[in-house]
Structure 1
């Protein structure tokens, strides 16, 4: 059986399974996301995750195709959820009308300076958690961290931003 050979480290067997199952996985992803490029990306990510799971002994044991389909559907629904948070708008006045907080110029400069003083990793995690509203559980796999570690990282970044803001008097 091909799957047994994959568990034994046979990359050619995984390639065969990929060729057999990837068209079905691509159709499933495309039916959910309705974007060919996103579907292709999701299929690639799916097979990467499945191969990683197999190599660590956690992957599918019976139905390789079922496991792949479940994984690609999960990723596709997560992608759709993430995309629904994105608002495309070419009207700059819209941002003015929907801005709840207007800071004095001096305070804006302090915020900008504090933000710029943070390391890129902290700025990135703060943006993802506070602006894009991702949960630590959603971010953890992509950052190769546990959800608790993501929460801790965000907490340290918040504290560093607060400290930097207060130090810019």
Structure 2
């Protein structure tokens, strides 16, 4: 009986909507998407290796669980997770390149590690002075 009364009391509470939430809810979702951004995203996705495209399609677009994608691709779960991580990072890098409009570098390989992308170009050795 005590739980029933508590449930009724909780159910009777009113939700207070702040101005910020009301403004967010009233925003029109009918706004057209940014065509340049979508175009850059498509170019970036198409510039990725086929394996990366496949794993991104299943894990992000189709929202399939890693275990099911692993079965589809004939891989271990851990391998699919790692491949998806690398593919997302590669897509991020390719999108940044495509968004700048530098199409000739869109197929360049992503950094070998996340830390490599954090090193500014000025801090990397010059090819002429590299051993």
TM-score normalised by structure 1 residue count? 0.39
- Rg larger for: 2
Higher helix proportion: 1
TM-score (norm 2): 0.49
Q: Which has the higher contact order (CA 8 A, sep 6+)?
A: 2
